[in-house]
């Protein structure tokens, strides 16, 4: 079970958090102008990488803030956590 | 014939404290400190169980948690019965009742033993191969397979014991209190780390605590005496907590571990009352030191499973620790020096050792010399090729090994015995290390897997990292601890160590025999009866991956998880397939290390503590008025209020009629309520609901539908504009938390620029809904100052008011289609307001109704329940609710998805009404809907989502989803049931008062 360093609260047990899927997927500003395929790309397509993955997490049983996490899915090492809107500190 | 096989001067048992216990119906005696295994051995009982597949007689084989054979049923037939208890770990107590498993009628005469003679017919994969055909016979096979499956019997009544969970946070966790664990714990604690030391046994010191001979010395003292002093010292250290009888079950990532602390299993039953039986410790440690030791390997030869064959180290332990001689004519069989340690221990205690069979040809060490001094015959370069004795070993046959160890040569020699100790060297207990994600490497010198890289802040020390001799253990552990704990010096720097142990070993995974392999039974997994020939068969049949061979032969799949034999399986595969051990890898070690009781896993979360129960502030009234309750999420909601022996149907019919004829009252407090404030609140609502919100006047209410981004209906509810920048949103009872979460998600991540604040106020306000033609009169009596005229207070509007001095919000909204008012009031006043309403409504026969009547009333009006009439595949268009989807709005959540090629299909499932031809016939919710019964396969058009008998329409009504249902009005469809077909007609989903006259009646 992870020990997650919430950018607002500090280190907490994983059981306080909820995973929210892939990060840095921006909701299109003008959905009506998108083709079905383009909309489907936003709506359904998600990466599932073995290695470095960018993820959204929510401190749901804590401060309830959403934030981003960089995690190596091959060994569950958390490389970084950062606030929404910030640039990822690692590549 | 019960002999006393006790020898004097044992370490652990208290011979002044006698304990009686029952095994297989007979009473025996042991001493305080005995395990069930040691007490049975002292009574000369070796035969304790039958093997799983062949029902071969099996005896106690080990003295620890790796035991494959001696697993027993405790207290059979009582609520505390427990299967698969390892007799080697079970401490005896007054009144203990244990019995053998997997045998009938008795362990001495077992009908299933016939499988042993049928064994040529039961090769690896027998079940997979045999019961495949004909497929239709599976039902018959299954009955017999299930009967023979499993070892013990599970209890069939609730567990009477108490279990707890406890969180522990420490700087350093040390697993295992052998010599390396002890020095690690002492070093860590003395350097200021908050340290926890856990040990699965009842005593500290591991195997060194009974290593009491002049051949193993530390600082000129026998290693046992030296360690004893260390133990006495660590018991006094304040920041060191020691937990015995505590077994680590799981080692997860980020140093999170689960351990079971056993508190009462060793106590007499009457001393356990009201005590916690076991605790599940949830440990988060900054640093973990694994010192789990090693497990002795058996040797693999023909008939190596007879009762009376034990690990050599187990024989030593029974003698040293429990004062028990496992036999009177002992033979030891080894490929390394360990058996000589056993021999010397036995000699010291006056127990006879007949001979030692050693695989090694040219060997010499101090231990061997000492053994030879005692006139014990040592057969160097020999192997055992067979054993005999059905219920107890009585002799062995030995032959000389060829130079390369591949064959036996010369003639066979028989030696009689009543006990055989085997030692194939040692396997580091790396189970917990690999569970944590650690990677292993293979050490060719002595053919062991040892830790290679650590995934978290942890180290392994002692024999679990492959240090097997006293000097290696102490020197390496000291070095490793200094690095790991970042300290300059330990007190073990200039320690003097003397160890007579010679590390030479002759590793032969499968010992050669004078018979062909097919005629041998050389057991690798003793519990599951997997033999060397099964492994080779699997390889011949094409299995290559170790994971596949394991499942095909069931090697390592018993309750002992193959702690003894897994390495030999790997070795044989590697030799047969000519692949390197290191490349072959191991099977995955999974938690728990030793089995956990379900009770330990669930802890206190049983019965009414299984989940949180949420009750409304009016709950007690519902209880007093005999309501039946329904669970909605965690809420207890009044379901219906039966009177005078009514059944559910009768009660609901009465309540539904009263609500439309005069007045009904509902506790709607469970509805989710979200307070929304901020200058962008209206814009926010525009984006999350399908309809438009900017023009909603202050003081008005509006129904809204919320979609997911994929266009599917997610939740619904009425939102009221309290002020320019202030709304209160209601959600479904079950959806409250997830709706709030979703709104927060969008606000924080997609639209952080919006000035909007969300607060959950579900529990702060109670909601009392009064409906029916007389509702206005009742509310007027309860709140005299409020103007309820239709002109001043029309449908879908709200007013702030007061009841006495208490502020309340009154909304005129309706989920029943009747004129209806909802009073929202601070929760702690709710009960008295409810009482006021009941009192005021008395003259109008005000009738409390529950969720079932609420559902019936809304179904008459064709109002949906999100989650009942919808699932995650229904758009508002599918629900025939096009009217609520704004065409003008630029965007809202899910809008773009409403015209994807899939969502605009005409033949999607759509919500319709269903009327049965026979008005008395009530459909079953969930029933399938079809049009043509003669088509094969029959096409399922949809299913019934809501169904009731309407007392107001005096007929059965139902809602359902049907493919292309929108264009099927008036069409006949069929609901096929088990024994009949029900004919229905598709209708509009609104059954009652299409013109909404009743809202203002």
Domain ranges of chain A: 3-83
List, as one string, the DSSP characters of B8-76. S--SS-EEEEEEEEEETTEEEEEEET-BHHHHHHHTT--EEEE-TTT--EEE---SSTT-SS-EEEEST
Residue of A nearest to B887 (CA): A32
CA B384 to CA B415: how far, in whole Å? 10
Flag if A75 and B709 touch (Cβ within 8 Å).
no
pLDDT in tens, B556-594: 888 888 899 899 999 999 999 888 888 888 888 889 998
Flag if A2 and B437 touch (Cβ within 8 Å).
no
Assess contact for B318 and B330: CB atoms under 8 A: no
What lies within 8 Å, CB to CB, of A76 at 6+ separation is: A2, B253, B254, B437
Residues of chain A found within 8 Å of residue B744, distances taken between Cβ atoms? 64, 66
Residue of B475, B482, B426 whose CA lies nearest to B450: B426
Spell out the long-range contacts of B777-782 with Cβ–Cβ below 8 A and sequence spacing 24 or more.
Answer: B777/B844, B778/B663, B778/B837, B778/B840, B778/B841, B778/B844, B778/B846, B779/B810, B779/B821, B779/B823, B781/B840, B782/B823, B782/B833, B782/B836, B782/B837, B782/B840
Of B455, B749, B896, the CB nearest to A39: B896
Flag if B749 and A56 touch (Cβ within 8 Å).
yes
Assess contact for A2 and A76: CB atoms under 8 A: yes
CA B155 to CA B148: how far, in whole Å? 18
**H or E stretch covering B383:** strand B382-388
Chain B residues 325-384 with CB within 8 Å of chain A: none
Question: What SS3 state is found at B216?
Answer: strand
Q: Calculate how close chain B gets to A53, using CA atoms only, in Å.
A: 18
Assess contact for B138 and B131: CB atoms under 8 A: yes
CATH class of B162-294+428-499: alpha beta
Question: What SS3 state is found at B744?
Answer: helix
CATH of the domain spanning B1-155? 3.10.20.440
Flag if B896 and A75 touch (Cβ within 8 Å).
no
First to last CA, chain A: 24
pLDDT of residue B102: 75
What lies within 8 Å, CB to CB, of B396 at 6+ separation is: B331, B333, B357, B384, B386, B387, B388, B414, B415, B417, B420
Assess contact for B289 and B478: CB atoms under 8 A: no
Convert B959-996 into a string of H (helix), E (strand) and C (coil). EEEEECHHHCCCCEEEEECCCCEEEEEEECCCCCCCCC
Residues of chain B found within 8 Å of residue A74, distances taken between Cβ atoms? none
Spell out the long-range contacts of B993-996 with Cβ–Cβ below 8 A and sequence spacing 24 or more.
Answer: B993/B817, B993/B861, B996/B817
Chain A residues interacting with chain B (CB cutoff of 8 angstroms): 1-3, 13, 18, 20, 27-28, 30-32, 34, 36, 39-40, 43, 56, 58, 60, 64-66, 75-76, 84-85
Question: What SS3 state is found at B700?
Answer: strand
pLDDT of residue B113: 73
What lies within 8 Å, CB to CB, of B585 at 6+ separation is: B546
CA B576 to CA B558: how far, in whole Å? 24
- Which two tokens mark A42? 């936003």
Give me the residues of chain B with pLDDT under 70, please: 1-4, 8-9, 121, 125-135, 137-150, 1001
Assess contact for B157 and B208: CB atoms under 8 A: no
Q: Most distant CA pair in chain A: distance in Å?
A: 43
Q: Which residue out of B455, B896, B897, B903 would a mutagenesis test of the A interface target, given it has the greatest number of A Cβ atoms within 10 Å? A: B896
Q: What CATH fold (topology level) applies to the domain B671-841? A: Gyrase A; domain 2 (3.30.1360)
Assess contact for B97 and B22: CB atoms under 8 A: yes
Flag if A32 and B437 touch (Cβ within 8 Å).
no
Q: What are the structural domain ranges in chain B? A: 1-155, 162-294+428-499, 298-424, 508-597, 671-841, 905-1000
CA B703 to CA B823: how far, in whole Å? 17
Assess contact for B193 and B172: CB atoms under 8 A: yes
Which ranges in B149-178 belong to alpha helices (H)? Answer: none
Residue of B919, B911, B990 whose CA lies nearest to B943: B911
Of A3, A34, A84, the CB nearest to B896: A34
pLDDT of residue A37: 97
CA B242 to CA B168: how far, in whole Å? 13
Task: Return phi, psi of residue B408, to 5°.
Answer: -110, 145
CA B202 to CA B213: how far, in whole Å? 23
pLDDT in tens, B218-266: 999 999 999 999 999 999 999 999 999 999 999 999 999 999 999 999 9
Q: What CATH fold (topology level) applies to the domain B298-424? A: FAD/NAD(P)-binding domain (3.50.50)
CA B899 to CA B886: how far, in whole Å? 13
pLDDT of residue B666: 98
Flag if A3 and B750 touch (Cβ within 8 Å).
no
CA B102 to CA B48: how far, in whole Å? 10
State the CB neighbour count (10 A cutoff) for residue B498.
15
- Which two tokens mark B604? 């206190």
CA B343 to CA B313: how far, in whole Å? 10
Q: Calculate how close chain B gets to A81, using CA atoms only, in Å.
A: 15
Assess contact for B658 and B664: CB atoms under 8 A: yes
- Which two tokens mark B640? 């219906």
Flag if A3 and B741 touch (Cβ within 8 Å).
no
CA B348 to CA B366: how far, in whole Å? 16
Residue of A nearest to B709 (CA): A43
- The radius of gyration of chain A's CA atoms, rounded to the nearest angstrom, is 15
Residue of B30, B8, B26 whose CA lies nearest to B17: B30
Chain B residues 381-440 with CB within 8 Å of chain A: 437
Residue with the two structure tokens 């994971």 = B547
Flag if B256 and A43 touch (Cβ within 8 Å).
no
The helix/strand count (H/E) of chain B reads as 23, 50
Return the sign of the alpha-carbon dihedral for residues A9, A15, A18, A19: positive
Flag if B437 and A40 touch (Cβ within 8 Å).
no
Residue B803 DSSP one-character state: E
Q: Most distant CA pair in chain B: distance in Å?
A: 115
Q: Which residue out of A28, A43, A65 would a mutagenesis test of the B interface target, given it has the greatest number of B Cβ atoms within 10 Å? A: A43
Distances (CA, A) of B112 to A64, B52, B54, B148, B371: 60, 9, 7, 9, 43
Q: Calculate how close chain A gets to B252, using CA atoms only, in Å.
A: 6
Packed helices B338-348 and B366-373: angle between N→C axes, nearest 10 degrees:
40
Spell out the long-range contacts of B635-642 with Cβ–Cβ below 8 A and sequence spacing 24 or more.
Answer: B635/B670, B635/B733, B637/B667, B637/B670, B637/B733, B637/B850, B637/B851, B638/B667, B638/B848, B638/B850, B638/B851, B639/B850, B639/B851, B639/B852, B640/B849, B640/B850, B640/B851, B640/B852, B640/B853, B641/B848, B641/B849, B641/B850
CA B423 to CA B994: how far, in whole Å? 87
Burial B520-544 (b: 16+ CB within 10 A, else e): bbbbbbbbbbbbbbbbbbbbeeebe
CA B170 to CA B188: how far, in whole Å? 11
- Which two tokens mark B836? 């006021």
Task: Return phi, psi of residue B255, to 5°.
Answer: 50, 45
* A-to-B residue pairs, Cβ atoms closer than 8 angstroms: 52
pLDDT of residue B135: 67
Flag if B748 and A84 touch (Cβ within 8 Å).
yes
Flag if A84 and B745 touch (Cβ within 8 Å).
no
Q: How far from the centroid of its chain's Cα atoms is residue B787's Cα? A: 59
B858 upstream amide cis, omega within 30 of 0: no
Of B253, B256, B752, the CB nearest to A85: B752
Of B748, B891, B895, the CB nearest to A66: B748
Q: Calculate how close chain B gets to A37, using CA atoms only, in Å.
A: 9
Residues of chain A found within 8 Å of residue B901, distances taken between Cβ atoms? 36
CA A19 to CA B466: how far, in whole Å? 39
Residues of chain B found within 8 Å of residue A31, distances taken between Cβ atoms? 891, 895-896
> What is A3-83's CATH superfamily?
Folate-binding superfamily (3.30.2270.10)
State the CB neighbour count (10 A cutoff) for residue A21.
10
ipTM score of complex:
0.98
Residue B589 DSSP one-character state: P
Architecture per CATH, domain B905-1000, reads as Beta Barrel (2.40)
CA B487 to CA B259: how far, in whole Å? 28
Burial B288-307 (b: 16+ CB within 10 A, else e): bbbbbbbbbbbbbbbbbbbb
Residue of B nearest to A23 (CA): B749
Residue of B nearest to A26 (CA): B750
State the CB neighbour count (10 A cutoff) for residue B48.
28
pLDDT of residue B324: 95
- Which two tokens mark B901? 């090629």
Residue of B nearest to A67 (CA): B749
B592 upstream amide cis, omega within 30 of 0: yes
Chain B residues 438-457 with CB within 8 Å of chain A: 455
Residues of chain A found within 8 Å of residue B250, distances taken between Cβ atoms? none
Q: How far from the centroid of its chain's Cα atoms is residue B379's Cα? A: 50
First to last CA, chain B: 96
> What is B508-597's CATH superfamily?
BFD-like [2Fe-2S]-binding domain (1.10.10.1100)
Of B709, B744, B901, the CB nearest to A43: B709
Surface-to-core class of residue A34, CB atoms within 10 Å of its CB (0-12 exposed, 13-18 middle, 19+ buried): middle
Distances (CA, A) of B192 to B199, B456, B468, B486: 21, 21, 29, 12
B905-1000 matches B162-294+428-499 in CATH topology: no
């Amino acid at each position: 079970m992870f020990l997650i360093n919430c950018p607002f609260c500090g280190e907490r047990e994983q059981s306080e958090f909820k995973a929210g899927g892939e990060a840095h997927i921006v909701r299109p500003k003008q959905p009506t102008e998108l083709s079905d395929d383009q909309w489907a790309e936003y709506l359904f397509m998600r990466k599932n990488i073995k290695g470095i993955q960018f993820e959204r997490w929510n401190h749901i049983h804590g401060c309830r803030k959403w934030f981003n996490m960089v995690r190596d899915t091959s060994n569950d090492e958390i490389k970084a956590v950062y606030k929404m809107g910030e640039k990822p500190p690692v590549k | 014939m019960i002999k006393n096989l006790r020898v004097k001067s044992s370490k652990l048992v208290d011979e002044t404290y006698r304990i009686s216990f029952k095994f297989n119906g007979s009473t025996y005696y042991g001493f305080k400190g005995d395990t069930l295994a040691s007490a049975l051995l002292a009574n000369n009982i070796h035969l304790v169980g039958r093997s799983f597949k062949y029902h071969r007689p099996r005896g106690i084989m080990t003295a620890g948690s790796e035991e494959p054979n001696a697993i027993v049923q405790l207290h059979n037939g009582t609520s505390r019965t427990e299967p698969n208890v390892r007799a080697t770990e079970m401490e005896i107590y007054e009144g203990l009742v244990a019995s053998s498993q997997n045998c009938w009628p008795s362990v001495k005469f077992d009908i299933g033993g016939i499988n042993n003679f049928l064994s040529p017919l039961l090769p690896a994969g027998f079940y997979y191969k045999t019961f495949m055909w004909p497929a239709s016979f599976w039902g018959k096979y299954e009955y017999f397979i299930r009967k023979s499956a499993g070892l013990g019997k599970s209890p069939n009544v609730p567990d009477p014991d108490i279990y707890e969970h406890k969180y522990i946070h420490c700087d350093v966790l040390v697993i295992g209190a052998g010599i390396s664990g002890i020095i690690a714990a002492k070093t860590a604690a003395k350097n200021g780390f908050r340290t926890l030391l856990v040990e699965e046994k009842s005593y500290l010191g591991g195997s060194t605590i009974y290593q009491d001979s002049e051949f193993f010395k530390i600082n000129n003292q026998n290693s046992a005496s030296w360690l004893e002093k260390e133990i006495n010292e660590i018991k006094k250290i304040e920041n060191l907590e020691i937990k015995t009888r505590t077994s680590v079950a799981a080692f997860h990532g980020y140093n999170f571990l689960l351990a079971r602390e056993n508190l009462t299993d060793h106590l007499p039953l009457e001393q356990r009352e009201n005590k916690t039986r076991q605790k599940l410790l949830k440990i988060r440690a900054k640093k973990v030191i694994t010192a789990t030791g090693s497990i002795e390997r058996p040797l693999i030869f023909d008939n190596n499973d007879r009762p009376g064959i034990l690990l050599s180290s187990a024989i030593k332990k029974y003698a040293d620790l429990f004062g028990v001689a496992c036999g009177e004519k002992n033979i030891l069989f080894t490929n390394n020096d360990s058996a000589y340690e056993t021999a010397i221990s036995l000699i010291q205690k006056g127990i006879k050792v007949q001979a030692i069979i050693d695989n090694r040809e040219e060997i010499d060490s101090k231990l061997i010399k000492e053994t030879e001094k005692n006139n014990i015959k040592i057969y160097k370069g020999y192997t055992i090729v067979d054993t005999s004795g059905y219920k107890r070993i009585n002799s062995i046959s030995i032959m000389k090994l060829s130079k390369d160890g591949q064959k036996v040569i010369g003639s066979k020699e028989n030696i009689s015995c009543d006990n055989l100790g085997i030692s194939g060297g040692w396997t580091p207990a790396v189970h917990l290390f690999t569970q944590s994600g650690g990677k292993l490497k293979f050490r060719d010198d002595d053919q062991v897997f040892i830790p290679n890289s650590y995934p978290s802040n942890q180290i392994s020390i002692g024999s679990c990292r492959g240090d097997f001799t006293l000097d290696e253990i102490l020197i390496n552990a000291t070095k490793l601890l200094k690095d790991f704990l970042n300290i300059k010096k330990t007190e073990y720097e200039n320690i003097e160590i003397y160890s007579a142990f010679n590390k030479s070993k002759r590793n032969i995974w499968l010992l050669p025999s004078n018979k062909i392999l097919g005629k041998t039974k050389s057991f690798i997994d003793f519990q599951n009866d997997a033999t060397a020939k099964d492994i080779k068969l699997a390889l011949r049949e094409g299995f290559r991956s170790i994971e596949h061979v394991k499942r095909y032969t069931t090697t390592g799949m018993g309750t002992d998880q193959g702690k003894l034999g897994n390495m030999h399986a790997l070795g044989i595969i590697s030799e047969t397939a000519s692949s390197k051990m290191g490349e072959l890898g191991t099977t995955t070690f999974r938690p728990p290390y030793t089995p956990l009781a379900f009770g330990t896993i669930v802890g206190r979360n049983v019965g009414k503590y299984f989940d949180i129960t949420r009750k409304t502030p009016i709950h007690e009234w519902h209880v007093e008025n005999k309501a039946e309750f329904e669970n909605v999420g965690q809420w207890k909601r009044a379901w219906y209020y039966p009177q005078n022996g009514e059944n559910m149907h009768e009660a609901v019919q009465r309540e539904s009629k009263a609500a439309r004829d005069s007045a009904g009252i509902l506790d709607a407090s469970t509805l989710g309520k979200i307070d929304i404030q901020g200058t962008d609140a209206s814009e926010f609502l525009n984006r999350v609901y399908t309809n438009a919100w900017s023009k909603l006047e202050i003081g008005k209410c509006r129904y809204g539908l919320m979609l997911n981004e994929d266009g599917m209906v997610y939740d619904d509810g009425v939102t009221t504009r309290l002020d320019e920048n202030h709304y209160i949103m209601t959600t479904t009872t079950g959806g409250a938390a997830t709706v709030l979460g979703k709104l927060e998600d969008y606000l924080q991540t997609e639209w952080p620029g919006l000035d909007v604040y969300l607060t959950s106020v579900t529990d702060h306000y109670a909601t009392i809904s009064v409906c029916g033609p007389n509702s206005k009169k009742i509310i007027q009596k309860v709140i005299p100052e409020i103007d309820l005229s239709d002109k001043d207070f029309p449908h879908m509007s709200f007013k702030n008011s007061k009841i006495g001095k208490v502020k309340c919000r009154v909304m005129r909204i309706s989920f029943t289609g009747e004129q209806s008012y909802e009073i929202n009031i601070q929760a702690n006043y709710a009960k008295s307001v409810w009482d006021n309403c009941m009192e005021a409504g008395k003259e109008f026969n005000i009738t409390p109704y529950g969720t079932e009547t609420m559902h019936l009333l809304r179904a008459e009006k064709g109002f949906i329940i999100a989650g009942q009439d919808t699932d995650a595949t229904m758009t508002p268009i599918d629900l025939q609710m096009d009217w609520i989807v704004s065409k003008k709005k630029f965007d809202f959540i899910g809008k773009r998805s409403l015209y994807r090629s899939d969502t605009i299909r005409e033949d999607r499932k759509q919500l319709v009404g269903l009327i049965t031809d026979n008005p008395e016939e009530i459909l079953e919710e969930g029933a399938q809907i079809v049009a043509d019964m003669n088509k094969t396969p029959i096409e399922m058009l949809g299913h019934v989502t809501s169904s009731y008998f309407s007392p107001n329409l005096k007929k059965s009504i139902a809602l359902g989803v049907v493919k292309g249902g929108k264009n099927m009005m008036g069409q006949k469809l069929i609901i096929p049931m088990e024994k009949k077909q029900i004919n229905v007609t598709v209708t509009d989903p609104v059954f009652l008062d299409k013109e909404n006259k009743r809202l203002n009646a």
